[in-house]
Chain A
Amino acid sequence: MSMSIHKRRIVTVIFVLLFFILAPLIVFYAKGDIWSNGFNFLKTGGIFVRATESGSEIYINGKLEDTTNFFSRDYFIKNLRPVTYEIVVKKTGYNDWKNNLRVYSNRVTETRAFALPAKIEAVDIPEFNKTEVSAGTTTKTILKLNPDYDQAKKMFLDSYWADQILTVKSTTTGKISKYLPGTKENPIESRHMLAWAEGKDVFVSWTGNPDSIPKYFCEDGGFEIKCQNTLKVYSFESNVRSLDYFLGDTEIILVAAGDRVEAIEAETNPDKRPQVVYEGDKPDFRLSGSSIIIKVGKLYKEINI
């Protein structure tokens, strides 16, 4: 019933042979080298897409490849020839996201598909709260100052940001200069990341450990990765009035410029376009917890995304 020593030796040899045959094949496959015509290996690469929403459809060169779900919003495709691919991420009710990605041999090009809802509702913050009081046959309307309005209004006053305004006195002229948060001299800082605007241009800069630098500061040339500490994110059509990180996300910058408040990805994607958060007459914004407070003239609005 037991296997004879002879039979066991044969089985052992078969397993050893199997190991030596499979090991290089699996290693080549893991590296991205796939069997092509005849005995040639084709060096391939891959694309990794991180979608912000579940239910997003991922298209590569116009072909639907995957739909993300609740458990996995990531999509990884491998065995791609090293050329450029058009990636589009779509979800009903959200802006389409598009990028052209270059794939290199044995490397994975990683991207994040950031998409905002196509329609974002901005809720008015009224100056007064109305209360109707009945007295006999008459009804009185009592107007009470809305504390939320008062709070929103304060957020846009210089005094509200007093502790964040940088004051510099020139040693030569004695002139005192004040820099608001988000300017080159007084950038906004979060988790070793600086963000600022210079006229129409928005920049981000990495101040942390070079080994931990976020990937979007780097360009993967296939053989070499080149990283730069400062990255020009985007050049808007009008001067930037204010900017901040999009609800604490250091990969997205929220910018007020021209007649819009827009969100833009802090990365090098040449096809990226700002996504509109609010459109109106020279709007400005401030962040309050998980809300965006918009100021248009004397009106204040609240956006929750």
Chain B
Amino acid sequence: MDYKNSPYYRVGRATDLTGKDRLIYRLLEILPGTLAWGTIFGTILVSYYLPFWAAVFIIIFDLYWLLKTIYLSMYLRTNWKKMQHNMSVDWKKMLVNLKYDHVYHLVLLPFFNESEELVEKSIESLIVSEYDKDKMIVVLATEEKGGQYAANLAKKVEKKFGKKFGHFLVTKHPFGVLGEMPGKGSNIAYAAEEARRRILDRNKIKYEDVMVSAFDIDTVIYPQYFECLTWNFLTTEEPLKSSFQPVPFYNNNIWQAPALSRVVAVSGTFWQMIQQERPERLSTFSSHSVCFKTLFEIGYWQKNMVSEDSRIFWNAFMARNGDYKVVPMSYPISMDANQDMSLWHTIKSIYKQQRRWAWGVENMPYVLFGFIKNKSIPRYNKIRFTMVLLEGFWSWSTNPIMIFLLGWLPVVIGGMHFQGTVMSYNLPILTRDLMTLAMFGLVTSAAISLSFLPPRPDGMSWKHSAFMVVQWIFVPITVTIFGAIPSLDAQTRLMFGKYMGFWVTPKHRKK
């Protein structure tokens, strides 16, 4: 049976299954949290009972971290050059020798109750983009739960911008549909189907000619985003077996957002840039694009889970028996860095957003379960992605804790005999030295982040620019508090079956 038509294809969580399948899926949900906590408790226990071996492990781990930092910095630098090139290229000229006037762009803008300014800025960026507006279909995907405010704003926006595009559609995703989880996935899946019914079919637009871009409501595109996307779509070998991933910048409010928020946001950008250079590890994240034909065939975004942005890739991967990939665009789109009413609210928002992203761990049981059930996926692909996922989520939740919190543990609890060894004295010294070397990578990070900054707004002094560099000293804090801990939080919730719902990131912009 085609995996797409199997009962496993749309599984959201273990409770969607029965019998042995449910047990296997549940065990797979427990796996990431067990690995993470096993590592942490293992380090604590070994530090107490076998402090020498714990110290050996930590020193080797520090070395691994240093080499990994250098290794990944190399990819970051490569992608940075590529991004600079792609941002300077005239993509219209790149398309000259390609036939592309048949390509439509369907843009999905999921909207809950965000501000008018935010919505307008996003749509205005579509207007000022250089792609033929007649070939653009814009869908403002509202939620019934958004109430009268959302409905009124949608009407206002449609009135103001409706005529600027080939097609403009406002959809209202009904609240409380059985089997759906309220959130972006169910909303844009509904909006995509509405767009098919009400625009594509009525206007006889071929599905294979439509590129769908699933954005966030704060997504602001760069002027030639659609030209770049079109070029990638037309030149990639198997466009119907590919999703297209831009690099998320958080430049919309980068000058106004607090330093902690900026560091977290730009770190996210860097991670995506690194992944763009390793496309075999890449899955879709946040704003991404895919051909409508593919989207229709795989059944749109899954509606019963939170991290629909990555799940759509895994859905396609499973449906195509592993013959599916993500094409890195190395071209930016811009979104909002976390910014709430106060610094404390912002800190809470960053944590919650990071935890929602880390909840992407819910894809791990789905994928591993799919690997067990789908016999048509090549074994090599299964092994490779299993390792990538395990290593990825394990690193995310444990590595900073290991380095910044547990690195000194054997010295503290290792007992008198160990405390009198050269190893005990060398452990903190070596950890400090190796980490200091690794921190030199931050200089590269600071330089690269500066090169992508939008111009400094009027009224801000050179001190703001200087702080854009100094802020990188927060990295040890951000990778632990806004990296490892929310990830551990998410994995622990999954481990205990405390499934998370969709949390809408508050988007406040300071004037």
Contact = CB atoms under 8 A, between A and B. Distances in A.
Contact of B425 (A2, A78, A218): A78
Contact of B416 (A2, A12, A46, A213): A213
A1 B420 contact: no
A19 B67 contact: yes
Contact of B278 (A8, A19, A76, A211): A8
Contacts of A29: 426
Contact of A107 (B60, B81, B82, B420): B420
The interface centre, meaning the residue of A1, A18, A107, A211 with most chain B CB atoms within 10 A of its CB, is A1
A110 B420 CA distance: 8
Contacts of B277: 2-3, 8
B416 A211 contact: yes
Contacts of A31: 421-423, 426
B497 interface: no
Interface stretch (A20-28, A85-93, A120-128, A262-270): A20-28
Nearest to B56: A27
Nearest to B427: A30
A108 B424 contact: yes
A110 B424 CA distance: 12
Contact of A106 (B70, B79, B423): B423
B71 interface: yes
Contacts of A3: 75, 78, 277
Contacts of A11: 71, 74
Contacts of A251: none
A19 B63 contact: yes
B424 A19 contact: no
Nearest to A46: B422
The interface centre, meaning the residue of A18, A19, A48, A76 with most chain B CB atoms within 10 A of its CB, is A19
B423 A1 contact: no
B424 to A, nearest CB: 7
A106 B82 CA distance: 50
Given A11-B74, A15-B67, A32 B422 contact: yes
The interface centre, meaning the residue of B85, B277, B278, B416 with most chain A CB atoms within 10 A of its CB, is B416
A113 to B, nearest CB: 17
A44 B421 CA distance: 11
B60 A1 contact: no
A78 B78 contact: no
A1 B426 CA distance: 42
Interface in B258-313: 277-278, 280
B59 interface: yes
B415 A1 contact: no
A185 interface: no
A225 B60 CA distance: 28
Nearest to A212: B416
B59 A26 contact: yes
A45 B422 contact: yes
Interface string B79-119: 10110010000000000000000000000000000000000
A238 to B, nearest CB: 36
A266 to B, nearest CB: 17
The interface centre, meaning the residue of A2, A44, A78, A107 with most chain B CB atoms within 10 A of its CB, is A2
Contacts of A30: 55-56, 59, 422-423, 426-427, 430
The interface centre, meaning the residue of B71, B81, B277, B427 with most chain A CB atoms within 10 A of its CB, is B71
Interface residues of B, number: 31
Contacts of B496: none
B63 A215 contact: no
Nearest to B82: A1
Would you call the interface of chain B mostly helix, strand, loop, or mixed?
helix
A213 B420 CA distance: 13
Contact of B423 (A8, A32, A213): A32
Contacts of A110: 420
Given A2-B82, A11-B71, A76 B60 contact: no
Interface residues of A, number: 35
B64 interface: yes
Contacts of A220: 420
B430 A1 contact: no
B511 interface: no
Nearest to A23: B60
A29 B423 CA distance: 9
Contacts of B67: 15, 18-19, 22
A8 B279 CA distance: 12
A301 B309 CA distance: 81
Given A1-B81, A2-B82, A225-B417, A26 B422 contact: no
Contacts of A32: 421-423, 426
A107 B422 contact: yes
Given A211-B415, A225-B416, A23 B424 contact: no
A78 B79 CA distance: 43
B422 A44 contact: yes
Contacts of A107: 420-422
The interface centre, meaning the residue of B67, B82, B424 with most chain A CB atoms within 10 A of its CB, is B67
Nearest to A80: B422
Interface string A197-214: 000000000000001010
A19 B64 contact: yes
Interface in A63-107: 76, 78, 106-107
Interface in B401-460: 415-417, 420-427, 430
Given A2-B277, A11-B71, A211-B416, A23 B63 contact: yes
Contacts of B423: 30-32, 106
Interface string A216-235: 00101000010000000000
Given A1-B81, A3-B78, A213-B416, A106 B56 contact: no
Contacts of B60: 23, 26-27
A215 to B, nearest CB: 7
B139 to A, nearest CB: 33
Contact of A108 (B85, B278, B420): B420
Contacts of A108: 420-422, 424-425
A32 B78 CA distance: 39
A27 B434 CA distance: 13
B153 to A, nearest CB: 42
Across the A-B interface, give the 3 residue pairs with the lowest CB-CB distance, nearest first.
A32-B422, A30-B426, A1-B82
Given A30-B427, A211-B416, 4 more contacts: A11-B71, A15-B71, A23-B60, A106-B422
14 contacts: A1-B81, A2-B277, A11-B74, A27-B56, A30-B59, A30-B430, A31-B426, A32-B421, A44-B422, A48-B425, A78-B422, A107-B421, A108-B420, A220-B420
